[in-house]
Amino acid sequence: MRAASLNYRDLGVARRGTDRAVVPVSDGAGDVVSSGEGVDAWGPGDRVITPFFRTWVDGPWHPAYGSQAFGGPIDGVLTEEVTVPAQVLARIPDGWSYEEAATLPCAGVTAWNALSGGERRVGEGDLLVVQGTGGVSMFALQLAAGRGAQVAVTSSSDAKLEVAARLGSAFGVNYRTEPDWAAAVRAQAGRGADHVVEVTGQLEASMRVARAGATISIVGTTLGGDPVPVDVSLIQQKMATIRGIFVGPASMLHAVAEEMADTGSRPVIDEVFAFEDAPSAYRALAAAGHVGKIVIRSLPG
């Protein structure tokens, strides 16, 4: 392993603990050291990305895959070497660093699944709303902008919104100065959103910003706290589609890597830490001051 990247999930695993001691972190990239009998696709020296799930190659979700997620419940990739089934590895795009490649397995795949895994793929002319400037939101912004969609970003920081603008957002809304960010987005866009990537547990507001017939992809609830009641009648009135996203299979890891390579976009990395300084990387993630991803360099690249 050459690099590993952190997700909010890793904070959750660290805070609540596991049934047994577990090597942390789900997302990584490195070099093939050796391949098993009958493996022709990979050989020593190949630069590869490891998947989020050890056994989900393709097709629909099955609960059994959940028991094979790296970094909990099975050992993760913040280590020197791992053993991974050949069929779930993906090749690192030419010119990418290990640090960049390590950001894809969870956040990149989640964003690609949200934009592409449902009945309606986000594309040219669509209005997408992403919340915050974390890994999933920045990947969704880059992918959607690369497809010709209009992207609105919410954040509590004008400086972060400026970064999002450089990455291709059409406009941003600071939800500290505009608490009713759903109304502010609608006012600036002149219409409702076709798709919302919901990462903060604000489904009520996401429903208000959405147009009739929109899709809302539920990715996470990073705000924490008590569950927020949802007006189910609003979902019915808007004929909205609510999709739950739990990362995705290895086939989507291939897809997001290929799409980003084709469009020339690169993962957004806020900070890289040394392996020995992994606790500081966790603290930086918890502080939530980053844009994009926080990465730990496993070995000299």
Query: Cα(267)–Cα(134) distance, rounded to whole angstroms?
Result: 11
**What's the burial of 22, exposed, middle or buried (CB within 10 Å: 0-12/13-18/19+)?**
middle
Please give the distance of CA 41 from its chain centroid, rounded to a whole number. Answer: 27
Q: Does CATH place domain 3-109+248-297 in 3.90.180.10?
A: yes
Q: Kindly report the number of other CB atoms within 10 A of residue 274's CB atom.
A: 12
Give residue 223's pLDDT.
47
Give residue 221's pLDDT.
62
Give residue 176's pLDDT.
96
Give residue 164's pLDDT.
97
Give residue 222's pLDDT.
54
Tokens 């093939």: give the residue: 32
Question: Which amino acid belongs to residue 8?
Answer: Y
Q: Give ∠ CA 170-171-177 in degrees, rounded to 5.
A: 170
Give residue 300's pLDDT.
57
Q: Does CATH place domain 110-244 in 3.40.50.720?
A: yes
Give residue 22's pLDDT.
93
Query: Cα(10)–Cα(286) distance, rounded to whole angstroms?
Result: 10
Q: Write the CB contacts of 151 (distance below 8 Å, at least 6 apart in sequence).
A: 127, 128, 129, 130, 140, 141, 144, 145, 168, 169, 170
Residues with pLDDT less than 70, the chain: 221-229, 300-301
Distances in whole angstroms, Cα of residue 30 to Cα of each of 87, 99, 200? 16, 9, 31
Asked if the domains 3-109+248-297 and 110-244 are classified in one and the same CATH topology, the answer is: no
Give residue 96's pLDDT.
98
Question: Which amino acid belongs to residue 166?
Answer: R
Query: Cα(43)–Cα(41) distance, rounded to whole angstroms?
Result: 7
Give residue 172's pLDDT.
98
Q: Give domain limits for the chain.
A: 3-109+248-297, 110-244
Q: Write the CB contacts of 76 (distance below 8 Å, at least 6 apart in sequence).
A: 4, 22, 23, 24, 25, 26, 28, 70
